[in-house]
Amino acid sequence: MPAACESVLEDIEDIVSAEDLKPHDRQFVRKNVFPKVRKRNSQKNVQTDDEPPSDSIIPGVQKIWIRTWGCSHNNSDGEYMAGQLAAYGYKITDNSAEADLWLLNSCTVKNPAEDHFRNSIKKAQEEKKKVVLAGCVPQAQPRQEYLKGLSIIGVQQIDRVVEVVEETIKGHSVRLLGQKKDNGKRLGGARLDLPKIRKNPLIEIISINTGCLNACTYCKTKHARGDLASYPIEELVDRAKQSFQEGVCEIWLTSEDTGAYGRDIGTDLPTLLWKLVEVIPEGAMLRLGMTNPPYILEHLEEMAKILNHPRVYAFLHIPVQSASDSVLMDMKREYCVADFKQVVDFLKEKVPGITIATDIICGFPGETDEDFQETMKLVELYRFPSLFINQFYPRPGTPAAKMPQVPAAVKKQRTKDLSQLFHSYNPYDHKVGERQRVLVTEESFDSNYYVAHNPFYEQVLVPKDPLLMGKMVEVNIYEAGKHFMKGQLVSDARVHTASISRPLAKGEVSGLTEEFRRSPQNGTNWKAQPSAEIPVKTRLSSWMALQLPWQQEGDGLKILSVSLALLAVLVMFYYGGMKTEL
C-alpha cells in the first residue's frame, strides 16, 4: 500500500498546507459568503404567483365552496366561517365545480333538508372533493353511517374552522364537537367579533343566544344547539355598533327562541332591545326574530313599546304550531291556544298594523280531524299575512318519532287544505294607494326589482335603480299580490341614506380587528379560542396569523421560496465547514 503513494499521512491534519486557510480564518470567511441563486427559466411552467396550483398542499390557498341550509342562525354561522377562511387566505367561490373543498352547513329541522345535505355529501365524494361538515345534523348525530370518516365542525366550534379545513386538505379527518364553557358555565358560542362575509353587505345577522328552554317532542335542533346560553348585552351592542360602522343598515336578531334571551344570565329581551335601539342610526332598522309564546307573555307591555319604535320593525314571528291544546300538550309546547291569542290580540291592539307571522305543523302524531279544524279556524280568524306550513316529518331520535303516526295521505291532504285557505285571501289589497316609507336592501329573485320593507316588514318591490339600494325612501303603492306590494318612488320625497358609512363590497371580509391583522413578524400569532372540552395538540401552522404578509403581495410566494432556498444553502455551507474542520 505505501508503494502506491509517495508518502503516508500520519494524521488528517497533514493534508493542510501552509498556504491553506486555518479553521479560524475559514469561519470568518464563511460569514461573508453570499450564495448565488440560479434563476429559473421564467418562460417554462408559467403560473401567476397569486394563484398556486389547485392541488397545492400549502394551507390557505385553496378554493372553498360553502353551502348553507336552514334558519338565519345557521346563515350567520356560515357567514362567520366564510369570513375566517377568507381572512386566512382561502378563496371563497360560488362555483362548486372549481372548489377544492366543500363546506356543507346543514339543517336538521326537516327530513328534506337533511336529504339535500346527504345528497351533497355524496356528490362531493363522487367529484373527489374534500369535505367539511357543519351545522345541526352532524352535531346532533355525528355517528351516522354516511358521516363516517368525514371532518366535522360543531355549532359552537365555528371559530376553529380554519384548523379543520387545513387538516382536511392535508388528508386528515377532524371532529370538533365540544361546547364553549367559562368556569364550567356554557357560553352562547363562538365570539361575535370574528371575521365574517355577509351574504348581503347591508344586513347583519346577530345570534343573541343559542339553544332554548323547551323540550319539544318533535324537535331535533335541541339535540344540536342544546340548552339556552345567551351572549352578554355589551357584546351584542358592540357587534351592532361595528356592523353599522361597516355600512350595515338592517340588523336581524336571531336564535332558537329570542323570547327566552337572558334568562340564564340574569337579564331579559326588552333590556337588550332598549340598549340596541340606542345605537341604531337614523334610517337603519332592527328586525326581531322568532319567539315562543311562553316567554313573551311576561314582557308584553315593554315589547309593545319597543315594536312601536320608529327604528324597529313592527313585526314578530310567534309559532303556534297547532290550535289544539291536546296536540300542543303532546308537543310539549308549554302554552295553550289561549296564551297565543292573548299575545296576538294584545300586540295588534297596542301596535297598530303589526305583522304577526306564525308556523303550523300539519299531521302531528295523534292529531284528529277535530284538532285540525281548530287550526283552520285560527288561520281564518287572524288571516296571517305570513304563514309557514309544514307537513310533519318524524325526526330520528325524537319522542314524536315513536308516537303513532298520522297516515301520510292524511298529512298531505291537511297540508293542502291549509295551503288553500292561506292562498284564499290577499292581506295587502287594502294598502293599494298608500304612501309608505321603505328601506331598500335586496334584489328580487327574478332580478327585475329591488326588495324593500315598510315599517311592518311587509315586502315592497321598487324599481331597480342602483341609487336606491341601502336607502330609506317613500313610495306610492300601486299594486298588491299575495306576498308583496309594488311601489313607485314619490318624486318630491327625500331619499335618506341609512348607512353611516360605505357598505362593504360583496364578498369583502367584515370584522378584521387589529388582532386579526397582526403578522408573525410582530411576534404575535392569532389563536382561536379552543373548547375547554377538547384538548388539541397545537401546531405552529394551525396558529399562524390569519392574514400572512406574503398573502398580501403579488410576489409573496416567490419571496417565500427564495428565502427558504437561501436558508437551505447557508445551512449546507455551515455544516460543510464543520465537517472540513473535523
Q: Is the pLDDT higher at 49 or at 327? A: 327
Percent of the chain past pLDDT 90, that is, above it, reads: 65
The cell for 106 is 346543514
Residue 341 is assigned to a structural domain of this protein = no
- Name the phi and psi angles at 245, rounded to 5: -65, -20
Nearest to 475 by CA among 433, 417, 421: 433
Rounded average pLDDT over 462-485: 96
Q: In the predicted model, what is the mean pLDDT of the chain?
A: 83
Per-residue pLDDT tens digits for 214-272: 899 999 888 888 899 999 999 999 999 999 999 999 999 999 999 999 999 999 999 99
Q: Is the pLDDT higher at 574 or at 23? A: 574
- What kind and span of H or E run contains 136? helix 136-140
Q: Is the pLDDT higher at 544 or at 88? A: 88
DSSP line for 225-276: H-B-EEPPHHHHHHHHHHHHHTT--EEEEE-S-GGGTTTTTT--HHHHHHHH
Last residue of a domain, one of 497, 521, 548: 497
Residue 357 is assigned to a structural domain of this protein = no
- What kind and span of H or E run contains 299? none
Write the CATH number for 491: 2.40.50.140
- Helices 300-307 and 269-277 cross at an angle (nearest 10°) of 20
Q: Which amino acid is at 74?
A: N
pLDDT of residue 576: 56
pLDDT of residue 44: 47
Last residue of a domain, one of 183, 209, 226: 183
Rounded average pLDDT over 43-63: 61
pLDDT of residue 548: 32
The region that residue 386 occupies, defined by phi over 0 for left and psi between -120 and 50 for alpha, beta otherwise, is beta
pLDDT of residue 36: 54
Identify the bridge partners of residue 252 per DSSP, sorted by sequence position.
205, 287
pLDDT of residue 477: 98
Residue 348 has pLDDT above 70, yes or no: yes
Write the CATH number for 80: 3.40.50.12160
Nearest to 70 by CA among 105, 96, 103: 105
Rounded average pLDDT over 43-70: 69
pLDDT of residue 186: 73
Last residue of a domain, one of 439, 471, 497: 497
Q: What are the strands, taking DSSP E only, across 45-184?
A: 63-68, 91-93, 101-106, 130-135, 151-153, 175-176, 181-182
pLDDT of residue 67: 95
Pairing label, strands 450-453, 229-230:
unpaired
Per-residue pLDDT tens digits for 514-564: 555 443 323 333 333 333 333 333 332 333 333 333 233 334 444 555 566
Domain with 154 in it: 59-183
Residue 15 is assigned to a structural domain of this protein = no
Instruction: Give 143's Cβ-side CA count (13 Å radius).
Output: 2
CA distance 433 to 445: 25
Do the beta carbons of residue 556 and residue 50 sit within 8 Å?
A: yes
Rounded average pLDDT over 130-147: 92
DSSP H helical segments within 299-336, as ranges? 300-307, 325-331
Residue 470 is assigned to a structural domain of this protein = yes
CA distance 385 to 483: 8
Residue 468 is assigned to a structural domain of this protein = yes
pLDDT of residue 7: 42
Q: Is the pLDDT higher at 418 or at 8? A: 418
Per-residue pLDDT tens digits for 408-462: 999 999 999 999 999 999 999 999 999 999 999 999 999 999 999 999 999 999 9
* Domains of the chain: total: 2
User: Taking CA 468 as the corner, what is the angle to CA 441 and CA 490, rounded to the nearest 5 degrees?
Assistant: 115
Q: Residue 184 contacts by C-beta under 8 Å, 6 or more apart in sequence?
A: none
Residue 79 is assigned to a structural domain of this protein = yes
Nearest to 101 by CA among 83, 121, 118, 84: 121
pLDDT of residue 32: 52
Using only C-alpha atoms, the chain has a radius of gyration, in whole angstroms, of 31
Residue 476 is assigned to a structural domain of this protein = yes
Pairing label, strands 471-480, 496-497:
antiparallel
CA distance 195 to 209: 19
The cell for 64 is 372553498
CA distance 251 to 243: 8
pTM for this predicted structure: 0.78
* pLDDT band (50, 70, 90) for residue 480: very high
Residue 474 is assigned to a structural domain of this protein = yes
The cell for 75 is 346563515
Do the beta carbons of residue 64 and residue 178 sit within 8 Å?
A: no
The cell for 15 is 493534508
